[in-house]
């Protein structure tokens, strides 16, 4: 794990910030519930998808409201008795809570997603992180950096003695 390096201004380096410091809580659905219960919970939260966890809190995947409606309703299954577990999408992007924010952001860019779930190394769901949260954190941290003036730059400029190049006069050689 990368160590957080303090900056000269007392703040931690943004690239070394840890994900768990800026995560947002995630509302999840238990895997043993019915599709109807899951749809009702997502409707109440005004959400189109939700992470699914087991009784220990471990992330199993996510469910989508549209996918469940298509599969359950389209096949004529009863949403009150159909288990959520049959509709879990297991191929989801996630990051670990002890990763750096920069690593999580790069992972989101590579996966072309705007939000990922955050889990512990034991796969317990702890929250989510998205590109907007990262951008806000970056703006907040940069707002506190003092502006450098030209006088400050002149004051801290290194003086390196410059020796003039040797000029050999060809006429003096002969």
User: In terms of pLDDT, which residue wins out, 147 or 137?
Assistant: 137
- What are the tokens at 48? 């189109």
**Quick one: pLDDT band at residue 73, thresholds 50, 70, 90?**
confident
Q: What is the largest CA-CA distance in the chain?
A: 107
Quickly tell me which residue has 């050999």 as its tokens: 168
Buried b (16+ CB within 10 A) or exposed e, 54-90: eeeeebbbbbbbeebeeebeeeeeebeebebbebbee
Q: How confident is the model at residue 96 (pLDDT cuts 50, 70, 90)?
A: very high
pLDDT-derived band at 123 (thresholds 50, 70, 90) equals: very high
**Average pLDDT over the chain, rounded to an integer:** 81
For the stretch 101-120, what's the b/e string if a residue is b when 16 or more beta carbons lie within 10 angstroms of its beta carbon?
Answer: bbebbebbeeeeeebbbbbe
Q: Is the pLDDT of residue 13 over 70?
A: no
Q: Tens digits of per-residue pLDDT, 29-56?
A: 999 999 999 999 999 999 999 999 999 9
**Reported confidence tier of residue 159, pLDDT bands at 50, 70, 90:** low
Average pLDDT over residues 65-76: 84
Residue 110 has pLDDT above 60, yes or no: yes
**What per-residue confidence (pLDDT) applies to 77?**
79
DSSP string, 107-171: HHHHHT-SEEEEE-TT-BEEEEEEHHHHHHHHHHHHHTSPPPPHHHHHHH------PPPP---HH
pLDDT value of position 4: 34
* Distance separating alpha carbons of residues 29 and 116, to the nearest angstrom: 16
For 74-83, how does the pLDDT look when each residue is reduced to its tens digit (9 = 90+)?
A: 777 788 888 9
pLDDT, position 72: 86
Distance of alpha carbon 32 from alpha carbon 118, whole angstroms: 22
- DSSP bridge pairs for 30: 53
Flag whether pLDDT at 149 surpasses 60: no
Residue 71 pLDDT exceeds 90: no
């Amino acid at each position: 794990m990368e160590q957080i390096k303090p900056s000269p201004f007392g703040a931690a380096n943004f690239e070394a910030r840890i994900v768990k410091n800026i995560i947002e809580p995630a509302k999840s659905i238990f895997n043993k519930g019915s599709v109807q219960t899951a749809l009702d919970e997502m409707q109440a939260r005004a959400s189109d998808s939700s992470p699914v966890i087991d009784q220990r809190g471990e992330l199993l995947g996510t469910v989508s409201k549209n996918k469940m409606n298509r599969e359950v309703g389209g096949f004529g299954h009863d949403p009150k008795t159909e288990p959520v577990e049959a509709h879990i999408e297991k191929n989801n992007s996630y990051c670990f809570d002890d990763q750096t924010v920069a690593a999580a952001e790069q992972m989101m860019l590579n996966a072309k997603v705007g939000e990922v779930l955050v889990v512990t190394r034991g796969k317990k769901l702890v929250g989510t992180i998205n590109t907007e949260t990262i951008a806000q954190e970056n703006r907040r941290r940069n707002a506190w950096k003092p502006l450098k003036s030209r006088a400050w730059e002149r004051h801290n400029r290194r003086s390196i003695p410059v020796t003039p190049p040797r000029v050999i006069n060809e006429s003096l050689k002969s």
